[in-house]
Amino acid sequence: MVNSLIQEQSKRILFRVSYLVSVSMVRQFSWKYRREHSTQFPFVCDICRHTKGRFKTLKDKENHDKMTSRHNRNFKTMAMASGSIDSIRDETDLEKFIRDHVQTDDAFRRVCKGVIKNVSDILKNNIEGKYRPDEVLKTGSTAKGTAIKGKSDVDLVFFLSRTEYQSIDQLYDDLPTILSDISKALVMKPQFKNVRVQRRAVSFQTDCREPGTGHAHVIDVDILPAVNFGDVDIRIIHSEMKEASAEKRNLYTPSLTKWQRDFIKKDRTEQVKKLIRFVKFWKNVNVQHSPSSFALELLVIYLWNQKDDPTQFQLTNALKKVIETIADPKKIRVEFFEYYSEEFLERDHSIPYIIDPVNPYSNEAAKCRWKDIRREANKFLQKPLLRSATSEFV
């Protein structure tokens, strides 16, 4: 037992020494020198490119990648934001924080739209025949006006030809081939990173450069093949879904995306969007993977609806109401009845539940791990900003 502990400690010491030696060798030359002698240092760190982190050998770069915490893309941003959020004391501070750190500006949005258009054009022009899309529709936070600085998600719904595809059954049969064709159209383009085929989508990342600073804003993109139902009555689609298997029901969601996007965007005031953006930002700082941004958007809209959709309200008070709700997820029971009636709802949803407003069979809360965010919500409620707030949309 003692020998094994000594051996393990020796390994750790040796590993640390070797790392320090490698670092000292790598850093014999300043970043400025490396930039000026780029041919001698051809290997560039993707994450540290704003400082032009360059390396002589691939091994040097790999050592840097392994040992540097900054290679969590969100490391610096999240560390700084965590401290900044703690310093927010009142409504004025919160408004300023959202303006400075959370919401995107018009120039940046124009750049992102250009990136998305580029992806859409590639899909339309590089896929031939049966699988060529009739339309590529932008959804996700960028389309809905709830994107936040630093990281956004975009769903590009790949609407198949209406002459070729009239049913989800047809899509289900051809889905592997369609995903493969989409992936092939993207994987050769150097601006698209981590292109991978998922179960029902093709996912990748691309950078959107901030005007002026050149800093990269990472966009996570999912491309989802869908049937174009056109102007079919959505209640007819829900009736079809009722008889479909669980696996096929999941394929309906992208096909309902126009209704879903319109639900999020419709009559949502700028004050509500500010609240959604901050709640998403706060979640990303504290719990990066759960719950989904869409679930939080729906929760905020539901709580706002419960107070008769006020045009103006104090952000700190509304924020406290949202965070209190997150801190007690057993009370989260969210349903909407704009696009479907109660007859379509399943009554065996686990609690908490947040039912997709256009898909009565999709519980967005079931995809979440609530333990971590509940803990962070309870911590946040103890901050001065929320201790002095009233838990109401007033």
Average pLDDT (24-31) is 52
Residues 126 and 241 in one domain: yes
Same domain, 182 and 324: no
Q: Are 231 and 279 members of one domain?
A: no
In a domain, 3, yes or no: no
Q: What is the pTM of this model?
A: 0.76
**Do residues 93 and 185 both lie within one domain?**
no
DSSP sequence for 235-265: HHHHHHHHHS-HHHHHHHHHHTHHHHHHHHH
In a domain, 12, yes or no: no
In 3-state terms, what secondary structure has residue 346?
Answer: coil
Q: What percent of the chain has pLDDT over 90?
A: 36
Does 158 share its domain with 304? no
pLDDT tens sequence across 298-337: 999 999 999 999 999 999 999 999 999 999 999 999 999 8
Is pLDDT above 80 for 367?
no
Query: Pick from 26, 64, 28: which is nearest to 48 by CA?
Result: 64
How far is Cα 36 from Cα 100, in angstroms, rounded to an integer?
34
Q: What is the DSSP annotation of 287-342?
A: -SSSS-HHHHHHHHHHHHHHTT--SS--HHHHHHHHHHHHH-GGG-EE---SS--G
Q: What is the pLDDT of residues 171-188, one digit of tens each?
A: 999 999 999 999 998 988
280 and 297 belong to one structural domain: yes
Given 238, 258, 278, which residue is the final one in a domain?
Answer: 258
Last residue of a domain, one of 10, 43, 68: 68
Distance, CA of 135 to CA of 329 (rounded, Å): 38
CATH number at 172 reads: 3.30.460.10
Q: Structure tokens of 183?
A: 């992936």
Residues 225, 271, single domain; the answer is: no
The parent domain of residue 62 ranges over 19-68
Whether residue 223 lies inside any domain: the answer is yes
Phi, psi of 156 (to 5 degrees): -105, 110
Angle at 102 between CA 146 and CA 292, to 5 degrees: 50
Residues 282 and 221 occupy one common structural domain:
no
- For the stretch 225-270, pLDDT in tens is 999 998 899 989 999 998 899 888 889 989 998 888 888 877 789 9
Asked whether residue 355 is domain-assigned, the answer is: yes
Q: Which of 140-144, 271-275, 390-394 has the highest mean predicted lDDT (pLDDT)? A: 271-275
Indicate if 220 and 149 belong to the same structural domain. yes
CA angle 341, 345, 351 (to 5 degrees): 130
- Of the residues 258, 277, 300, which one is the last residue of a structural domain? 258
| Beta strands in the chain, from DSSP E residues, in sequence order | 43-44, 54-55, 135-139, 151-159, 193-197, 202-209, 216-226, 333-334, 353-354
State the angle between helix axes of 315-327 and 370-380 in degrees (0 to 180), rounded to the nearest 10: 140
- The percentage of the chain sitting over the pLDDT mark of 70, rounded to a whole number, equals 77
Q: Domain containing 381 — which CATH number?
A: 1.10.1410.20
Q: Does 371 share its domain with 392?
A: yes
- Look at residue 202 and tell me whether its pLDDT is greater than 50: yes
Which of 83, 180, 204, 95 has the alpha carbon at shortest distance from 131?
Answer: 180
82 and 148 part of one domain: no
State how many domains the chain has: 3
What is the helix, strand, coil percentage profile of the chain, to 5? 55, 15, 30
- Do residue 287 and residue 378 come from a single domain? yes
